[in-house]
């Protein structure tokens, strides 16, 4: 008998002044004792809602409206709260998505472990639990704000395992972490599972991390399961077109030629009924009957798929490719950083965030800053934009303009020419103002346009980033994450800047649309002659977009040069560490030795080695 049995589970959000949304629609699956099951899908597909329903942690206006969840013989959906409370942490536990918010900020790490022990009338060795995730025992006496993101996430994992549960739900446990910290956490998770034998439901949109660890992978789309099969078979034989699109979004940045795809279009509105297949509007192999016949999840080739053509999906032409551009010698730099040093006073000590960094930005070219969190990437961005002044060294714009000496109106005039694309598209826009307002402010402030002229220019900016002009009157919450990031990019372009600083612009986006945004950034840089500083810990996106790469470690450049040489022929041990930390589909695919018939690609972006 399965440890966890989910049968025909449905969850509906019923807001007061909006139609109900069926976020999870008749989902059924099992998790066996000790099994590691991955759950993939883009934002809004219902993954987290499903996970919260399994643990009965849903908040209003969400509610379970059908089906059942049975854990080890206990019906979670109907058992009394007292019985459910005794099961949580002791038998089934969770690691929540945000390490920043999942720990109580006002008590120490050790006190949070003691709180869990006290709630279940037991005791435990906090120091030993911390050591299982490679944290020093002294961490128990520290508060969450005194730990890095990776340390907090490891503490949350140790807390979830404190009472030796049989089932652990992991909801995006590595999102927002750099690749090296992510690798450490995944290695700890693999070792702990081998030692303790607990079952796992791993929720993520990061295909590589799921494939590397899971025994079996389920794919969710628009509230439904659309595929379920062993992880070893999925890379070579995806059964559903959506799964093929997700697989196509992943590649090894060290390959001499790489292709990264995106799934065109957007998920359907779940507040309305859909007669046919919910993926039909985005499917490259769609048939006429797909719009009228809703497919069932049926057994197929060792797994199951929800598709009328499952197992018979034809190869179709790809589109939207990045065409490799010939290397051209760079012209005079638009902006130069020379021997930049930035120190911060922390209590009685000095922390050096940037230590003697030099580089140039050129028109129509992208320079990528790559490194772990804390390596100095964002500090350099603040120096380039004039938000911070270097302790020593210089940031020079055009004809010797020293950015570090600018004040008042001169600094404001400079910022017209150097714009920033923020990391989080969900926080970068004022939720109470329309997109037309967001785009018109820089046009009026920097270019002095009238309200009418600014609105006309804002409409043109939306068209530049591939959005309809009707979006001018929409609020940010009415857009998807990818659409919001397009608006943030359009706002950065509004004052016609010469330099754009893109600070982790893809880290909050689903893999299915990252290549789409990369393609947009590439086109804008080349067509408008913009100099871009691209900040990332994602070496795949740096490989696709950048002309040159600087690898930062502890505020210093440890390796730099043309992109393909740095990534394809890395010389420094730290660069190789970053590359080796990237999750790899090969281990899952090689379990059965089958790599034939690679994934079908609906839309693609290709970049070959320069020269």
pLDDT digits (tens, 9 = 90+) for 6-33: 999 999 999 887 789 899 999 999 999 9
**Is the Cβ–Cβ distance between 342 and 353 less than 8 Å?**
yes
> DSSP string of 175-227?
TT--HHHHHHHHHHHHHHHHHH--EEEEEES-HHHHHHH-SEEEEEETTEEEE
Return left, alpha or beta for 401; rule: phi > 0 is left, psi -120 to 50 is alpha, else beta.
beta
Write the CB contacts of 501 (distance below 8 Å, at least 6 apart in sequence). 381, 384, 385, 418, 419, 420, 421, 532, 533, 535
The predicted pLDDT at position 598 comes to 38
Better-scored residue on pLDDT, 584 or 161: 161
- Please tell me the predicted confidence (pLDDT) of residue 178: 77
For residues 78 and 256, the answer to whether their CB atoms sit within 8 Å is no
* CB 97, CB 156: distance < 8 Å: no
> What integer pLDDT is reported at residue 329 of this predicted model?
66
CB 70 within 8 A of CB 56: no
Determine the pLDDT at residue 331. Answer: 81
Mean pLDDT for the chain?
A: 85
> Which conformational region is residue 230 in: left (phi greater than 0), alpha (psi within -120 to 50 degrees), or beta?
beta
Q: Which two tokens stand for residue 260?
A: 């990264």
Residue 41 token pair = 């899908």
**Which tokens go with 440?**
């018109």
Q: What average pLDDT does range 55-75 have in this prediction?
A: 91
Contact residues for 177 (Cβ-Cβ < 8 A; gap 6+): 99, 149, 150, 153, 185, 373
Task: Collect all residues with Cβ–Cβ distance below 8 Å to 187 and sequence separation of at least 6.
Answer: none
3-class secondary structure, 249: coil
Residues 6+ apart with CB under 8 A from 198: 34, 161, 164, 165, 166, 167, 168
The answer for residues whose C-beta is within 8 angstroms of residue 246's C-beta and 6 or more apart is 40, 207, 219, 263, 511, 512
Which strands form 92-95's sheet, in the order they lie side by side? 92-95, 167-171, 199-204, 36-40, 216-221, 224-230, 303-305, 298-300
Reported as a pLDDT band with limits 50, 70 and 90, residue 319 is: very low
Question: Which domains does the chain possess?
Answer: 4-214 (3.40.50.300), 235-311 (no CATH), 335-580 (3.40.50.300)
Query: How far lies 505's CA from each of 453, 488, 502, 535, in Å?
Result: 29, 9, 6, 8
User: Is the pLDDT confidence value at 340 over 90?
Assistant: yes
Confidence of residue 321 (pLDDT cuts 50, 70, 90): very low
Q: What pLDDT score was predicted for residue 99?
A: 56
Strands (E), 251-334: 257-261, 298-300, 303-305
pLDDT in tens, 165-211: 999 999 888 766 778 878 888 888 888 888 888 999 999 877 888 88
Residue with tokens 């919910």: 278
- Dihedral in degrees, nearest 10, Cα atoms 185, 191, 196, 198: 60
Q: What is each CA distance from 226 to 198, 218, 375, 538, in whole angstroms? A: 26, 8, 40, 28
Share above pLDDT 90 across residues of the chain, in percent, rounded to a whole number: 43
Nearest of 518, 505, 509, 524 to residue 464 by alpha carbon: 524
pLDDT of residue 347: 75
pLDDT attached to residue 202? 93
Residue 366, helix vs strand vs coil = strand
Q: Kindly tell me if the per-residue pLDDT of 144 is higher than 80.
A: yes
- The partner residues of 350 in beta bridges, in order of sequence, read 345
User: What are 401's two structure tokens?
Assistant: 């303009």
For residue 327, the model assigns a pLDDT of: 56
pLDDT at 3 over 50: yes
Give the pLDDT score at 348. 80
Residue 390 φ/ψ, nearest 5 degrees:
-65, 145
Considering only CA atoms, give the Rg of the chain: 25
Residue 587 has pLDDT above 70, yes or no: no
Structural tokens at position 89: 């942490």
């Amino acid at each position: 008998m399965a440890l966890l049995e989910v049968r025909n589970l449905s969850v509906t959000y019923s807001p007061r002044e909006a139609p109900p949304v069926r976020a999870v629609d008749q989902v059924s699956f099992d998790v066996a004792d000790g099994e590691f099951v991955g759950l993939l899908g883009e934002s809004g597909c219902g993954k987290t809602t499903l996970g919260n329903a399994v643990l009965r942690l849903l908040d209003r206006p969400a509610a379970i409206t059908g089906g059942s969840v049975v854990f080890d013989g206990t019906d979670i959906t109907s058992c009394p709260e007292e019985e459910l409370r005794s099961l949580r942490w002791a038998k089934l536990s969770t690691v929540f998505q945000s390490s920043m918010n999942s720990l109580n900020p006002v008590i120490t790490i050790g006190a949070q472990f003691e709180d869990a022990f006290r709630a279940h009338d037991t005791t435990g060795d906090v120091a030993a639990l911390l050591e299982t995730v490679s944290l020093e025992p002294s961490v128990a006496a520290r508060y969450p704000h005194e730990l890095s993101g990776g340390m907090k996430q490891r503490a949350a994992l140790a807390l979830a395992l404190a009472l030796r549960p049989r089932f652990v739900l992991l909801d995006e446990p590595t999102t927002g972490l750099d690749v090296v910290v992510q690798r450490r956490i995944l290695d700890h998770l693999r070792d702990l599972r081998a030692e303790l034998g607990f079952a796992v439901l791993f929720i993520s949109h990061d295909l590589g991390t799921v494939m590397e660890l899971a025994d079996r992978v389920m794919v969710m789309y628009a509230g439904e399961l659309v595929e379920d099969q062993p992880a070893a078979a999925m890379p070579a034989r995806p059964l559903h077109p959506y799964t093929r699109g997700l697989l196509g979004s992943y590649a090894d940045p060290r390959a001499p030629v790489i292709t990264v795809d995106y799934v065109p279009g957007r998920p359907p509105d779940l507040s309305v009924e859909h007669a046919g297949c919910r993926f039909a509007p985005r499917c490259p192999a769609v048939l006429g009957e797909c719009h009228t016949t809703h497919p069932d999840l049926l057994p197929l080739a060792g797994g199951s798929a929800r598709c009328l053509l499952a197992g018979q999906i034809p190869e179709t032409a790809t589109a939207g490719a990045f065409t490799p551009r010939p290397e051209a010698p760079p012209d005079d730099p638009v902006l130069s950083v020379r021997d930049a040093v930035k120190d911060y006073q922390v209590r009685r000590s000095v922390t050096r965030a940037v230590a003697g960094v030099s580089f140039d930005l050129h028109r129509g070219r992208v320079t990528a800053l790559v490194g772990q969190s804390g390596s100095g990437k964002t500090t350099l961005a603040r120096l380039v934009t004039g938000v911070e002044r270097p302790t020593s060294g210089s940031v020079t714009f055009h004809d010797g303009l020293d950015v570090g000496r600018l004040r008042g109106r001169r600094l404001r005039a400079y910022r017209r020419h150097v714009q920033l694309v923020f990391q989080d598209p969900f926080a970068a826009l004022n939720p109470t103002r329309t997109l037309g307002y967001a785009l018109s402010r820089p046009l009026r402030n920097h270019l002095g346009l009238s309200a009418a002229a600014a609105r006309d220019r804002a409409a043109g900016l939306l068209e530049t980033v591939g959005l309809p002009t009707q979006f001018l009157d929409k609020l940010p919450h009415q857009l998807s994450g990818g659409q919001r990031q397009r608006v943030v990019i359009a706002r950065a372009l509004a004052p016609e800047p010469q330099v754009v600083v893109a600070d982790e612009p893809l880290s909050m986006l689903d893999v299915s649309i990252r290549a789409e945004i990369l393609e947009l950034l590439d086109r804008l840089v080349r067509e408008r002659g913009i100099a871009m500083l691209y900040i990332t810990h994602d070496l795949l996106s740096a490989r696709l977009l950048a002309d040159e790469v600087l690898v930062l470690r502890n505020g210093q450049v440890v390796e730099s040069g043309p992109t393909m040489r740095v990534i394809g022929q890395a010389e420094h041990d730290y660069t190789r560490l970053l590359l080796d930390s990237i999750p790899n589909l090969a281990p899952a695919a090689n379990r059965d030795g089958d790599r034939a018939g690679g994934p079908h690609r609906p839309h693609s972006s290709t970049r070959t080695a320069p020269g």
